[in-house]
Structure formats: C-alpha cells, structure tokens
Chains A and B, each alone.
Chain A
Amino acid sequence: MARRIRAHLAEDDDVWCELGHLSAEYQTVNLGLGFPDFAPPDFVREAFSDAVNGPPRMHQYTRSVGHRPLVESLARFFSRLMGHQIDPQGEVVVTVGAYHALFCTIQALVEEGDEVIIVEPFFDCYQSMVHLSGGKSVPVPLRQKSGGCASLSGDWVLSPEELESKFSSLTKAIVINNPNNPLGKVYTREELQMIADLCIKYDVICISDEVYEWLTYDGAQHVRIASLPGMWERTVTIGSAGKTFSATGWKVGWAISQGQIMKFIRAVQQISVSDCPTAAQEAVARGFQREYEVFGTAQSYFLQLPALLQTKRDNLASTLEEMGLKPILPQGGYFMIVDISSFKVELNDRGSEDQPYDSRFVKWMIKEKGLSAIPVSLFYSRQHKKDFDKYIRLCFIKEDSTLEAAQDILKKLDQ
C-alpha cells in the first residue's frame, strides 16, 4: 500500500465496523446510523424523477466543476445569507457529498508540516483527512462551562486561552462544524467572532462544515462565519444536499469560497472525480430554486424539518431523563449525546476493561437491549478520549415508529 494510507490508517475504523456488524446481527432499533429512515420531501423526489425522465443530457457529463443550474441556484441562495455576492462560475464547486468537499479542501491546502486545529468532538473524518494529507491535527475540546447547565449543548464552549494556545506559525487551518455533530452545539455570533479574530490574527483558513445549517431549535440562529468581517477571504463553507433535503444517498455537496482558494479546491475535485452525476445535481438545483421562492414561509422545508425534529428531540429527551440518563439537549443538528455516567449497569464484559466505557456500554446495549447508539469517544482525539468516554450519541431523524420503539427499550433499560 502507499505510505500515505499506512501512515494515516484510522485507529477507530475497527470499532465502527464492529458496531455496524453487531447492530445487524442483533437487528437492533438503530439510533446509531446518522441518517434519516424516512423519505426526502416530495418536491425534490419529483425533481429527481423529472430530471431522470428529462432530456438525454441529464444522463451525460455536465459542467465538470458543477452543473450550471446548481451552482447558480447555490450562489443565488447563499449570497444573501453570507453577505457576499457569490460568483457561481468562480466561487462554488460541487462535490460528491460534503465528505468529498472536505477531502478536496484539505488535500488542496494541507501538507506535511502543516497543523490543523480541530474542535472536539468532531466528525471523525476530519482527523483522518488531515493525517492523509500529511498534516498534524491539533485537537481542542469544547468543555462544559463552569456555572453553566450541563444539559445544554450551548454551555459547552471553547476556552479562549486554550484555543489561542493551539495556534502557531504552522497552523494552516481550523475545522469547525456548526451545528456540531455529535454535540448539537450552535455557535453564537460572539463565539464565531472569537474564532474569526484568531484566524485573522494568525492568518489561518477556516474550514466551516455547515451541513446541518437548517436544523436549529429553540430559536437558535445559525450564523455563517464567512459572513463575519474579514472572513469571506479565508473561509471555505461546506454544505450538503443530503442533509438539507434528507437525501443522503444522492451524495451531492458543495464548497463555497473566494476564487483563489476555490481554484485549489477545484483542482483536487478535478483530479479525484472530474465531474459529479448530472441528474442528482439538477434535482438539487430545483430544490434550492423552490426553497428560494418560499424562504421564510411556512412552506419552506428548511422550517418544516427543524420543527418536526424539535418534537422528536424533546420526546426522546423526556424519556431519557425519566430513566435517569442525562441528555445534553442539542440546539441544532439531528444528534443528541447522553451522559451515561450515573446509569449503573453490569456490563458482563470481562476482558474489555481497557476499552473506552462508552464503547463497552454501547455494545452491551446492542446485545442485551437491542438498541444501537454510537460511543462519543469515537469523536475525540486519542489525547482526550478518556476524558469524554461517558457519553453515547443517539440520532433522532427517524420515523416516529423507530423513536417509539427506541423509547420502549429505554424505558426498560434498567430491568
């Protein structure tokens, strides 16, 4: 194998695999899988269908860096939200999911000798991708603020001093995920300003993964860091049609940035895939065109979906609290982490004591209770796993029947 993949090989790949196999074997109610178990909204499904049944060019190569109707609709849609007139020709690239946008961005900018700050808990691919590029990941955890409420994601914060201490002359970029997976934190404007000030002071690029941008609750506002003064020039904003339209299997994502950085990202997109599938891009373009027309109104999917999910979130949180488990209420995203430290249970897994507690707990829950979750220590660097191994992550973008089945299991968790 090439040295680059030997050097990077993710330590936790085996755990993810093992959990996947166990869940299948025990046929669990699966709140581990991080995607919807219901269909995308009708208007995008129809758009896809129309594209497939459309003219022959829907089945042939389209514009390589992004299907014209899609980059135009993305530019039009996000210009007013980013406070910058986005040039669809030069400042947008379409990728095979946001995952690929992250890959293209990191490969384009990061190399051996570079440091990349990653805010923990993080979507695990950030670290793997930085390592694959030869860079060094520098983790900095969100911590519960003293005097704050342990059960609110908003009270998990970055310490300004600790964050600044991670910046050096070798720092190429910082990766933030807002809203955050798995915590569900939605950064306030002030928090983003603090990060922005450091990016400007140390001349660092901000890679902002905003795939859950539409899913905010309790009135929390999603602020785009690229819209802060001085940040358009140094931010790559990444989005996902899969998360936006509950169609993760379409694998359409994008990155938006200023032209110079965008050229670099596009170079990697071109070498890695050269072109993205046409019909799915056409469908997403039409989805955004429709949402542009109804933005801010009751018909907007971008308002309907978070309203639907907030109810699911609240129901699940109540059940967890009833059972003495402590959910950290997310302000955004579709995951909830749960503090299991005070839940006493006999795990019966002699020989596994050196594994992170949350991993052991999740395996017990899969085998003994038939419910899947994800251990949150998987979203931490090796340095900090042990500090954060008492949480599990549940996904609540599920049909009510799935959530009810999960709640039934949770109600009997201590039996």
Chain B
Amino acid sequence: MNITRRVLNCKVIYPSSLFNSRGRFCTSQSTRMSRHTNSKRIEGLNKNVWVVFTAMTSDPSIVNLGQGKPDIPPPSYVKEALAKAASVDDLSQYTRGFGHPCLVKALSQVYGKVCGRQIDPFKEILVTVGGYGSLFSTMQGLVDEGDEVIIIEPFFDCYLPMVKMAGAKPVLIPLRVKSGKKTLTGADWFLDPNELASKFSSKTKAIILNTPNNPIGKVFTREELQMIADLCIKHDTLCISDEVYEWLVYKGHQHIKIATLPGMWDRTITIGSGGKTFSVTGWKLGWSIGPEHLIKHLQTVMQNSLYTCPTPLQEALAQGLLHNFDLMGQPECYFSSLSEELEVKRDRLAAVLQEVGMTPIIPEGGYFMLVDVTSLNQDLSHMADDDEAYDWKFVRWMIKEKKLAAIPVTAFVGDESKKQFEKYIRFCFIKQDGTLDAAEHILKNWSQI
C-alpha cells in the first residue's frame, strides 16, 4: 500500500517526545497537537501515482518517458506573448473571475468555428486551472452525494478521486480489446454496447468520456459517440467530455465532439487544455465549454474555490489561440503541425518497441503509447510486496535496472480490472529526439544492459 495513503488514513500521530519514561502519554499544553483529523470527503484519496513516480525519477540520468510532460519547447510566439504580458501593468492584477475577457472571446471564436455554433464567451465558457481544474469544477458543481458516475477504463487517474470527493459512486466499465489481431491500435479497443447500457441507472448523473483517450490513445468514432449519446439522452445523463488531446489526432482519424451530436449540447461539458494545446503544461490553464444552465454551476464553484486564474498567462494564451485561429486549415497552424511532428515520433517509438519484442498499441491520438510487456517474460518474483500489480513492479524494476521510466497502467483502472491491464505500461512520446534516442538505445540493448 502506498505510504502516503497509509499515513493519511491514520488518526493524529503524537510525537514520541510526548511519552514519558513509563510510556504513558502526557499532554503538556504547549506541545499537544489537535485531535482533529481530515474531513470525510478526502478520506483515502491521497494515493497519487505522480507523487510516487516523480520521487522515483528525480535522478536526471533516468530517461523519462513517464509523466506526460513535453520536453520539446512550446512555439516561440506563445512564450513571447507571455513575456510581453508579464510587462504590462494591468495584467499583473486580478482579471475577470470566470475568464479573462480576451481569452474567453478567443475560445468562443475557435470553438464556435469548430463546433459550428455561436458560443457565448461569458455564459458558456469557464477558464480553469488546467483541464484538471475544469474536471474538478464540473464534479463539484454538478455531481451530488448518492449519484453514480460512469468512468471508462483505463482513465486519467484523477477521475476516480474527484467522483469520490463529490460523494458519488464511480461505476467502471473497461475498454476491451478485440482478440486475434497481431498489430493492435487504439481502434481495437471498444466498449461493449450491452455492457455499457447495463451501467446506466436512475442514479447515473454523468458519464466521463476522454477522447482521444489517455493512456490508450483511442479516438472514439462517430458511431461510438452516438452510442454513448443515445444512452445519455435515454437516461437523461450528463456527459463530461475530456478532450484535452483534441488537436493530437493522427492521419486517418478525426476528432469529433460529442457535444455536436443532436441532443448533446445541452447535456455536455467539454473540457480543453491550453497546456496540451500549446505544449505548455506548466501554464495550468484549461476551460470548460457548455450550455449556460450547466456552466453557471461550474462558475459558482470557481467563485468559491480559487476565484480567478492568473492574468498574464490568460492573456498570452488568448494571443496564441487568435494567432492559430487565423491559420486554421493551413500547415503552419500549431493545431495540426504538432500532431504531424508527433506522428513521426509515435511511429519511431512503435517500431523500436516491436523490434525488441514488446507489443505497442499504436495510438490514434494523444501522446501516449500503451505497451504490452508480456512477451518479455521478465521474472519479477524477487521483488517485495506481493500485493503490488505486475506493471508497478515492472516499472520500478525498469527504472532501477534500465534507467527508463514509464507509468504502470493499472494506475488508470479500478481494482476489478487490474488483472486485465497489469501487463501494460505507458510511454509518453512528446519528447525531443535526444530523449527518444536515449530510450531507443536502452530498448535496443535490452538484453545486454
């Protein structure tokens, strides 16, 4: 069990100095800590794969294809826009709580065009601290204690604790893989329609959709989205559509917004990310777009949690969006040029993995690749902690022995699906060529190093 979870579940711990020589607990007024413990809403919610792996990969000699953090530079005009914004007096002070005016207007323009509808910048958009902040505001604003929320596995790990913190019950459904194929892609993973339908009940408040999916890289087709939409409409359920990787879609595939399907705009919150769009994850700006009657509740959460997002970052992001709005459809547009750049890296990494006998799942979108390590037959029985899933052990071993980091995929599934996914690890390929060269070297020399 993760150490931080164990500690968080403990009641107050008293320092040993408070015990006298007979081992009796003494409470001198000056050193007694409070008996108070955490609120129930965060009980058991501290397990965080990122905290654990950041600590394990702090050694700079480790080739880190783990966390989804680009090491390629962002486009220069975006950095320049931030440098410029940082020097403007007004932009050093608070801006509009629900989103800096020029940013919400830019978002309204871009997404108005993409969705083919007028989007009110002030009533139908909320700017948040990353896509993460949008997920949180949505959950807190719309999901109640006693609700059920359907989550598709594998899922970005924060969905589960956020649903629980809202007091709701997560209802999990795994993507399943078509059998009998030699080369697998994201498209070979699917939701069983009957299984999905069985997960809806009168208590279902929402389903969370992530397309392109992290970690598999599946891009849901129109037919698949229609199936989900039909169920949402039938059961009067909301759809929380996490589309942070929307621009990273590879040849032959198209990102479709479920909110544009008939009957879906009024029940969908669509989430986007400046960090993923412009390779600036450290800016932590995202947005929620949806109908006013839903967005206003997210805005209320915002007003009572952090009030407003940083001004200069929002200004710079707006400039980046407007710059690319003008270029949409052209090769220089970052919304398409980044995916072209990444497709090359995707193909390169996949080829190397196949060469060494691993089985990559070729993603149709996003910048992660799932890899099945079964065929390596790596014996990890010497590693302590029998409870730990195979992929966690494999990744720990790989970091230590091979100096290559990935993320274990069971971090993205519920307990019941762990067996199904424990032979997969996730690599991130939004990395510069030097990083991928180093990874390639380690992989090609796998049996020697």
Residues of A within 8 A of B (CB): 1-5, 8-10, 13, 35-40, 45, 48-49, 52-53, 56-65, 95-97, 99-100, 103, 107-111, 125, 128-129, 132-133, 172, 200, 203-205, 229-230, 233-234, 242, 246-251, 258, 260-261, 263-264, 266-268, 270-280
Contact = CB atoms under 8 A, between A and B. Distances in A.
B161 A271 contact: yes
Contacts of A49: 83, 86-87
B39 interface: yes
Given A61-B69, A242-B94, A274-B130, 7 more contacts: A36-B93, A49-B83, A60-B70, A61-B67, A249-B91, A249-B92, A264-B39
19 contacts: A2-B140, A2-B143, A49-B83, A56-B72, A56-B73, A59-B73, A59-B280, A61-B69, A62-B282, A64-B48, A100-B306, A109-B36, A132-B304, A205-B36, A242-B94, A250-B312, A268-B42, A273-B133, A279-B82
- Secondary structure dominating the interface of B: loop
A125 B305 CA distance: 9
Given A97-B307, A249-B95, A273-B136, A107 B39 contact: yes
9 A-B pairs with least C-beta separation: A249-B311, A278-B282, A100-B306, A264-B38, A1-B297, A111-B39, A233-B33, A39-B89, A273-B129
A50 to B, nearest CB: 10
B71 A2 contact: no
Contact of A1 (B71, B136, B142, B162): B142
Category for how many chain B residues contact A = 35 or more
B8 interface: yes
B266 to A, nearest CB: 15
Contact of A99 (B33, B284, B307): B307
B42 A264 contact: yes
Contacts of A229: 30
Nearest to B91: A249
B54 A4 contact: no
B158 interface: yes
A267 B313 contact: no
Nearest to B305: A103
Nearest to A276: B284
A357 B161 CA distance: 46
Interface string B120-157: 00000000011011001000111111000000000000
Contacts of A96: 129, 306, 309-310
Contact of A280 (B37, B72, B161, B310): B310
Contact of B280 (A60, A64, A129, A248): A60
Contacts of A125: 304, 307
Given A45-B87, A64-B50, A1 B300 contact: yes
Contacts of A38: 89
Contacts of A37: 93
A263 B313 contact: no
Contacts of B305: 99-100, 103, 272
Q: Which of A4, A49, A128 has the most CB of B within 10 A?
A: A4
B136 A272 contact: yes
B309 to A, nearest CB: 7
A77 to B, nearest CB: 21
Contacts of B51: 64-65, 270
Contacts of A60: 69-71, 280-282
Contacts of B381: none
A242 B144 CA distance: 34
B202 interface: no
B283 interface: yes
B201 interface: no
A39 B79 CA distance: 21
A270 B130 contact: no
Contact of B45 (A62, A63, A99, A271): A271
Contacts of B283: 59, 277-279
Q: Which of A109, A230, A271 is the most central at the interface, judged by chain B CB atoms within 10 Å of its CB?
A: A271
B94 A172 contact: no
A271 B158 contact: yes
A145 B79 CA distance: 55
Nearest to B280: A59
Contacts of A172: 36
A258 B92 CA distance: 32
B210 to A, nearest CB: 16
Nearest to B313: A277
Nearest to A261: B34
Contacts of A277: 282-285, 310, 313
A96 B48 CA distance: 20
A263 B132 CA distance: 20
A97 B285 CA distance: 15
A279 B145 CA distance: 37
B304 A129 contact: yes
A267 B38 contact: yes
B380 interface: no
Contacts of B166: 2
Give the residue among B38, B39, B145 with the most A Cβ atoms within 10 A.
Answer: B39
A9 B129 CA distance: 22
A103 B41 CA distance: 13
Contact of B34 (A62, A203, A250, A268): A203
A305 B132 CA distance: 36
B133 to A, nearest CB: 5
Contacts of B141: 1-2, 5
A349 B18 CA distance: 64
B7 interface: yes
Contact of A263 (B4, B83, B142, B162): B4
A52 B280 CA distance: 11
A262 B62 CA distance: 30
Contacts of A205: 34, 36
B94 A107 contact: no
Contacts of A1: 141-142, 297, 300
